[in-house]
Amino acid sequence: MITARDVAQALGVSVSTVGRALANDSRISSQTRARVHEAASRLGYIENAAARVMGGARSRLIGLMLPDIRNDFYAQIAEAFSTICGLEGYQLVFSISNERDVELRHVRELIGVRAAGIVIVPTSAPRRETASLLRGQPHVQLLRRLPASTSAWFGVNDEGCVREATSFLLSLGHRRIAYIGGPLALSTGQARLAGFRNAFSGKAARGQAIEVLGPPSVEFGREAAHRLMNRKTRPTALMLGSVQGTRGALEALDELGIAVPQDLSVVGFGDASGFGWWRSGLTTLRFPIVDLATSCAVWFLNALKQGGPIAYEGQSTVSARLVERGSTARISA
Amino acid sequence: MITARDVAQALGVSVSTVGRALANDSRISSQTRARVHEAASRLGYIENAAARVMGGARSRLIGLMLPDIRNDFYAQIAEAFSTICGLEGYQLVFSISNERDVELRHVRELIGVRAAGIVIVPTSAPRRETASLLRGQPHVQLLRRLPASTSAWFGVNDEGCVREATSFLLSLGHRRIAYIGGPLALSTGQARLAGFRNAFSGKAARGQAIEVLGPPSVEFGREAAHRLMNRKTRPTALMLGSVQGTRGALEALDELGIAVPQDLSVVGFGDASGFGWWRSGLTTLRFPIVDLATSCAVWFLNALKQGGPIAYEGQSTVSARLVERGSTARISA
DNA sequence: ATGAAAGCGCTAACAA
DNA sequence: TTGTTAGCGCTTTCAT
């Protein structure tokens, strides 16, 4: 492995000159700087990140903690961060943390590699230590937000989006509307449920709201939909409150052979690829996740470069667009 | 930040005792070891990975270089590696390298952080330097394989799978079959095309093979399908040779309003979520990607732990299963 | 504009 | 069984 010392010796200069030249320090003459760069690339010098950190420099690692990478929501986030981090010379340390002990371990490991910052979609109930460790690190929360946390957060307007989508169903004449959403332990679960409820209370339109909450998983969505459609009085419309839950619910509706939208109108959550192919197309909430993640990444890396403590008031939300397709219709008399 | 020295001082022992105790070195008495562990966790000690590496230990970072994370193929791989690496105490440094210069930069950066190993799905034509750098690193190739490379490789039986799927179409009576696949610059593109061709040469069944090759992207798949269906004599069946190309082709068929399987039988590549929802369901090749990635990860981490140079003969393939759904039918007279 | 030298926190060789 | 010590390759004062 070629070190800065090798480059220095090859040029008959000191290591500090090499270090400074490579960092484009203004104190080095442009002549020397050029010679150093040339020699470094000729010799195949690759900077040792560990030594850099040991020397006191900030690491160029950014921790990215997501609950699931096969969920298109999170895949989009990973892609956006990868792009921006690559542009800015940062590397992503990626982990899937869907369980609080795993989450804690990963936060510890990120601190261990002296990550410059951590981007996290928290689990539903992180360990106390996780929160306290995080407090000592530059970090930003994505989508979900810890209740007690005052740190920066980028997410979607969960309440407003679900409220609008539910209002849309109400405006189609539906009164018995079911909602399958995430647990209250998740900030998103809470906000989305609130949106669902607020849609009812807002209008003159009275209606019967049926709520089923549980983990945002395919399996739970499937079970919940089965349960709902086995009630003596079925709902006439179904509002979904999670991407994976939507997948599961669609599976269930297929299994049960429910006619959509004749017997049930359905509004999905998120516009994962394939949702448009379901039956005559799934009406759904489409979120500009890439935009969200990109602005989060740009903001965060910029805050990191400022060096100081990151502004903890940072907070930003985006809203969804309701994509109307064949799974919703005016209620049949 | 609490260091090993702090722990040592708190206990009145030396740093090396702490280091050894934490590494569960057999030379340390179990008494001391317990005390050290207790003190470390009490003080909130977190090992400094940079210092560890500087001291000569191997890093616990594994580079994972994928061309795309929104493609379910790669998302499955990322998930599998994340799981296994987490279990083994490794951290994943993730990057999206779909362009050879980006790829080279990422390999350099991985060497910079002294990654213990690199898992890579190479671009179609990596820079010479990329290959030469890789040669000096423990690494394994996934899915795609560099022509000149003799390193370990885990992939799918591309030739066989496409051959079988094509044979299936032939057995349904189709004779004019089109294939949309990846470029020859990709080892996978080459193997899959070979499979397509071999299906024809194998049987008595003569047929007209129409081949369209290009980047494995949604856009190309879409264009290629449009082009194919605008020919004066349309094919009666379509075989896809990439996941993203499949997506694009399905879009095109929707845009053109082609009746499937009445006017065209279609076999997709990969069983991405949603493929089953397309029309009456897409007949497709389903690959056990999670199995592939998991065995690759287990093998690789194990090879790394052996310490020595990894066995460069390692090579392993899995085969797809043809999932028959509504998009394929016996040719109509 | 450049050099010399002191760490950073750990590992490992060598002592005891 | 434990302690001492010499690096690892950088960054960063402090000299020059």
Going from the C-alpha of A23 to that of each of A27, A307, B106, the distances in angstroms are: 11, 17, 19
The reply to whether B89 Cβ lies less than 7 angstroms from strand C is: no
User: At CB < 8 A and 24+ separation, what contacts does B49-56 make?
Assistant: B49/A50, B49/A112, B49/A113, B49/A114, B50/A49, B50/A50, B50/A51, B50/A53, B50/A54, B50/A59, B50/A113, B50/A114, B51/A50, B51/A54, B53/A50, B53/B114, B54/A50, B54/A51, B54/A54
- What's the distance, CA A218 to chain centroid? 18
> Which pLDDT belongs to residue B159?
97
Residue A13 banded pLDDT, cuts 50, 70, 90: very high
Residue nearest to nucleotide D11 (CA to C1'): A55
Q: How many CA atoms lie within 13 A of A235 on its CB side?
A: 27
- Taking 70 as the threshold, does the pLDDT of residue A311 lie above it? no
State which residue of chain A sits closest to B85, comparing Cα positions.
A95
- Taking 60 as the threshold, does the pLDDT of residue A59 lie above it? yes
Residue nearest to nucleotide C5 (CA to C1'): A16
Contact status of A46 with chain B (Cβ, < 8 Å): yes
Query: Model-level pTM?
Result: 0.95
CA separation for the pair B297, B83 (Å, rounded): 9
Q: Are residues A48 and B78, on separate chains, in Cβ contact within 8 Å? A: no
Q: What is the CA radius of gyration of chain B?
A: 25
- Name the closest nucleotide to A28, judged by C1' and CA: C1
Q: Which residues of A touch B114 (CB under 8 A)?
A: 48-50
Residue B150 banded pLDDT, cuts 50, 70, 90: confident
> Which pLDDT belongs to residue A312?
63
Residue A15 (CA) to nucleotide C6 (C1'), in angstroms, measures 14
Residue nearest to nucleotide D7 (CA to C1'): B55
CA separation for the pair B68, A146 (Å, rounded): 30
Contact status of B47 with chain A (Cβ, < 8 Å): yes
Mean pLDDT of B186-215: 89
Q: Which residues of A touch B81 (CB under 8 A)?
A: none
> Which pLDDT belongs to residue A201?
87
Mean pLDDT of B150-173: 95
Q: How is the beta sheet containing B176-181 ordered, strand by strand?
A: B208-213, B176-181, B237-241, B265-269, B283-286, B321-323
Q: Note the helical H segments in chain B.
A: 4-11, 15-22, 30-43, 49-54, 72-87, 100-112, 128-135, 158-171, 187-202, 218-229, 243-256, 289-306
Q: Please list the residues that pair with B306 across neighbouring strands.
A: none
Q: Are residues B93 and A93, on separate chains, in Cβ contact within 8 Å? A: yes
Structure tokens at A125: 């109930």
Contact status of B272 with chain A (Cβ, < 8 Å): yes
Q: Are residues B95 and A93, on separate chains, in Cβ contact within 8 Å? A: no
- Taking 60 as the threshold, does the pLDDT of residue A204 lie above it? no
Contact status of A127 with chain B (Cβ, < 8 Å): no
3-state SS string for chain A: CCCHHHHHHHHCCCHHHHHHHHCCCCCCCHHHHHHHHHHHHHHCCCCCHHHHHHCCCCCCEEEEEECCCCCHHHHHHHHHHHHHHHHCCCEEEEEECCCHHHHHHHHHHHHHCCCCEEEECCCCCCCHHHHHHHHCCCEEEECCCCCCCCCCEEEECHHHHHHHHHHHHHHCCCCEEEEEECCCCCHHHHHHHHHHHHHHHHCCCCCEEEEEECCCCHHHHHHHHHHHHCCCCCCCEEEEECHHHHHHHHHHHHHHCCCCCCCCEEEEECCCCCHHHCCCCCEEEECCHHHHHHHHHHHHHHHHHHCCCCCCCCEEEECCEEECCCCCCCCCC
Going from the C-alpha of B49 to that of each of A59, A140, A189, B63, the distances in angstroms are: 11, 23, 37, 16
In chain B, what percentage of residues exceed pLDDT 90? 90
Residue A16 (CA) to nucleotide C6 (C1'), in angstroms, measures 13
The reply to whether A112 Cβ lies less than 7 angstroms from strand C is: no
Residue B147 banded pLDDT, cuts 50, 70, 90: confident
- Taking 70 as the threshold, does the pLDDT of residue A40 lie above it? yes
> Which pLDDT belongs to residue B191?
97
State which residue of chain B sits closest to A83, comparing Cα positions.
B96
CA separation for the pair B167, B177 (Å, rounded): 11
- Taking 60 as the threshold, does the pLDDT of residue A181 lie above it? yes
- Taking 80 as the threshold, does the pLDDT of residue B315 lie above it? no
- Taking 70 as the threshold, does the pLDDT of residue A333 lie above it? no
> Which pLDDT belongs to residue A316?
86
> Which pLDDT belongs to residue B203?
61
CA triplet B157, B161, B163: central angle to 5 degrees?
120
- Taking 80 as the threshold, does the pLDDT of residue B307 lie above it? no
- pLDDT tens across A71-95, in order? 999 999 999 999 999 999 999 999 9
> Which pLDDT belongs to residue A306?
82
Mean confidence (pLDDT) of chain B: 94
Kind of pairing, strands A176-181 and A208-213? parallel
Classify residue B231 by its DSSP letter.
S
- pLDDT tens across A265-304, in order? 999 999 999 999 999 999 999 999 999 999 999 999 999 9
Q: Are residues B59 and A72, on separate chains, in Cβ contact within 8 Å? A: no
Contact status of A106 with chain B (Cβ, < 8 Å): yes
CA separation for the pair A213, A239 (Å, rounded): 12
> Which pLDDT belongs to residue A148?
81
Q: Are residues B49 and A92, on separate chains, in Cβ contact within 8 Å? A: no
Phi, psi of A55, rounded to the nearest 5 degrees: -75, -10
Q: Are residues B47 and A278, on separate chains, in Cβ contact within 8 Å? A: no
Amino acid code (one letter) for A221: G
Residue A90 (CA) to nucleotide D5 (C1'), in angstroms, measures 36
Q: Is B187 helix (H, G, I), strand (E, B) or coil?
A: helix
Amino acid code (one letter) for B327: S
- pLDDT tens across B19-45, in order? 999 999 888 999 999 999 999 999 999
Q: Are residues A49 and B113, on separate chains, in Cβ contact within 8 Å? A: yes
State which residue of chain A sits closest to B52, comparing Cα positions.
A50
CA separation for the pair B328, B209 (Å, rounded): 17
Structure tokens at B314: 């390692």
Rounded to 10 deg, the angle between the B243-256 and B218-229 helix axes is 40
Q: Which residues of B touch A54 (CB under 8 A)?
A: 50-51, 54
- Of A115-119, A247-251, A303-307, B294-298, the one with minimum mean pLDDT is A303-307
State which residue of chain B sits closest to A67, comparing Cα positions.
B79
Q: Note the helical H segments in B66-127.
A: 72-87, 100-112
- CA A318 to chain B, closest CA, distance in angstroms equals 21
CA separation for the pair A229, A258 (Å, rounded): 9
Asked if A166 and A195 touch (Cβ cutoff 8 Å), the reply is yes
- CA B97 to chain A, closest CA, distance in angstroms equals 10
> Which pLDDT belongs to residue A165?
98
- pLDDT tens across A145-161, in order? 998 888 899 999 999 99
Q: Are residues B93 and A92, on separate chains, in Cβ contact within 8 Å? A: yes
Q: Are residues B46 and A111, on separate chains, in Cβ contact within 8 Å? A: yes
State which residue of chain A sits closest to B273, comparing Cα positions.
A274
Which member of B76, B114, B275 has the closest CB to residue A70?
B76
Residue A137 banded pLDDT, cuts 50, 70, 90: very high
CA separation for the pair B25, A126 (Å, rounded): 32
Going from the C-alpha of A268 to that of each of A217, A222, A285, the distances in angstroms are: 14, 13, 6
User: Which of residues 254-313 of A have CB within 7 Å of strand C?
Assistant: none
> Which pLDDT belongs to residue A328?
98
Residue B139 (CA) to nucleotide C7 (C1'), in angstroms, measures 35
The reply to whether B51 Cβ lies less than 7 angstroms from strand C is: yes
Residue nearest to nucleotide D2 (CA to C1'): B17
Which member of B47, B64, B274 has the closest CB to residue A277?
B274
State which residue of chain B sits closest to A113, comparing Cα positions.
B49
> Which pLDDT belongs to residue B313?
66
Question: Which of B69, B104, B266 is best to mutate for the A interface (most A CBs within 10 A)?
Answer: B69
CA separation for the pair A170, A151 (Å, rounded): 36
